[in-house]
């Protein structure tokens, strides 16, 4: 039996992209998503001939094995994304909309595909993905007031933040549930008006977590870097990446390494989820450090999924 799948990143960009598509082309589908870090989503389905698969805002390169399996099985795939793509397969059943430019996101790619029909959701996606310049430009073209623009910024940032966490249990809303709550509305302003309870949970939850994070003093610091340790609590697992960005903005000449204590213990010692942010004035080296400890990322921002307590000193020595 043929099946429909909507596969999407659990952040603002993934959700807002799918909202636009399903407003334009309604379709009942099995939703496949997860926390923001969970990107190898195509591997979680078993595609069959005739299946209709939509994939949004997850790297094609990271999903290449699953993509080839879907195409070889005879499924049709619509794929839109702005991350690293690798070699895009040439296949009659693949419709790919890939743009890796630094000033775009998947929500904007879908906005272009739909000729701006649900642009307010695209603006929300752009604010959520920190593509502020384009979001500002599009807001001006729509004639949005400062208050309206502020609402879309707050919603985008908060929806994006909802995707952060070590597991789905850490999130305010499961991304699939958040899509179901937002997708009936052609405009985010209608959603904010009709479901202000959800909007408030998202925006106030983000602000509360950030305030807690900013009160934590560095456990180690020098002229070039600071190390922050966060406890094994849900709010801490949510805030680590965002807190790193905020600290980078506050102290642009300083690199930051954030260690969030994980639930897992090895030989009686804690383990850590690590977020590394290079100094904004010298956006390089974060990925090089992370790779040495089994992690990865970009020059300006990188992470380590599982750092042993005994390796903390060695990590700090890199700074």
Q: Find the mean pLDDT for residues 191-215.
A: 97
Q: Extract the runs of DSSP E, i.e. beta strands, from 57-189.
A: 76-81, 94-98
The alpha-carbon radius of gyration of the chain (Å, integer) is: 20
CA angle (54, 32, 21) in 5-degree steps: 40
Evaluate if residue 274 carries a pLDDT over 90. Answer: yes
Q: Find the mean pLDDT for residues 91-109.
A: 95
Evaluate if residue 53 carries a pLDDT over 90. Answer: yes
* Cα gap 14→124, rounded to integer Å: 11
Q: Find the mean pLDDT for residues 71-81.
A: 98
9: nearest Cα among 59, 53, 66: 59
The number of residues in the chain equals 319
Query: Other CB atoms closer than 10 Å to residue 200's CB: what's the count?
Result: 12
- Best CATH choice for the domain 218-317 from the list 3.40.50.720, 3.10.310.30, 3.30.2320.20, 3.30.565.10: 3.10.310.30
- Looking from the CA of 222 toward its CB, the CA atoms found within 13 Å total 5
Give 104-129 as a 3 state SS string.
Answer: CCHHHHHHHHCCCCCHHHHHHHHHHC
CATH code 3.90.1640 for 4-206: yes
Residue with tokens 């309870």: 197
> Is 273 exposed, middle or buried (CB count within 10 Å of its CB: 0-12, 13-18, 19+)?
buried
Evaluate if residue 8 carries a pLDDT over 90. Answer: yes
- pLDDT of 297 reads 78
- pLDDT of 37 reads 82
- pLDDT of 13 reads 96
Query: Other CB atoms closer than 10 Å to residue 275's CB: what's the count?
Result: 28
256: nearest Cα among 282, 221, 226, 216: 226
258: nearest Cα among 208, 300, 206, 218: 218
- Looking from the CA of 295 toward its CB, the CA atoms found within 13 Å total 25
Question: Of all residues in the chain, what percent carry a pLDDT higher than 70?
Answer: 100
Give the residue extent of every domain in the chain. Answer: 4-206, 218-317
| pLDDT (tens digit per residue) in 125-167 | 999 988 999 999 999 999 999 999 999 999 999 999 999 888 8
Q: Which of 262-266, 300-304, 307-311 has the highest mean pLDDT?
A: 307-311
Average model confidence (pLDDT) across the chain = 95
């Amino acid at each position: 039996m043929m099946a429909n799948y909507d596969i999407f990143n659990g952040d603002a960009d993934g959700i807002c992209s799918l909202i636009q598509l399903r407003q334009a082309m309604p379709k009942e589908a099995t939703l496949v998503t997860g926390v923001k870090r969970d990107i190898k989503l195509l591997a979680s389905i078993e595609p069959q001939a005739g299946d209709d698969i939509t994939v949004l805002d997850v790297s094609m390169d990271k999903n290449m094995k699953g993509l080839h399996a879907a195409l070889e099985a005879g499924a049709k795939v619509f794929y839109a994304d702005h991350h690293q793509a690798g070699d895009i397969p040439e296949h009659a059943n693949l419709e790919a909309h890939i743009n890796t430019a630094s000033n775009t996101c998947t929500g904007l790619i879908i906005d272009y595909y739909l000729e701006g029909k649900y642009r307010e959701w695209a603006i929300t996606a752009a604010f959520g993905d920190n593509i502020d310049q384009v979001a500002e430009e599009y807001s001006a073209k729509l004639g949005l007031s400062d208050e309206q623009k502020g609402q879309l910024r707050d919603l985008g940032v908060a929806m994006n933040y909802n995707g952060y966490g070590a597991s789905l249990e850490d999130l305010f809303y499961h991304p699939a549930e958040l899509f179901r709550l937002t997708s009936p509305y052609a405009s985010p302003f209608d959603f904010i008006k009709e479901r202000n309870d959800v909007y408030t949970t998202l925006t106030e939850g983000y602000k509360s977590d950030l305030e807690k994070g900013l009160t934590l003093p560095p456990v180690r610091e020098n002229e070039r870097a600071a190390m922050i340790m966060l406890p094994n609590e849900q709010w801490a697992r949510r805030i680590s990446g965002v807190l790193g960005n905020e600290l980078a903005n506050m102290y642009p000449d300083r690199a930051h390494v954030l260690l969030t204590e994980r639930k897992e213990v090895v030989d009686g010692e804690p383990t850590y989820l690590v977020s590394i942010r290079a100094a904004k004035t010298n956006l390089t080296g974060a990925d090089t450090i992370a790779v040495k400890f089994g992690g990865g990322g970009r020059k300006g921002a990188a992470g380590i999924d599982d750092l042993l307590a005994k390796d903390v000193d060695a990590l700090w020595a890199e700074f």
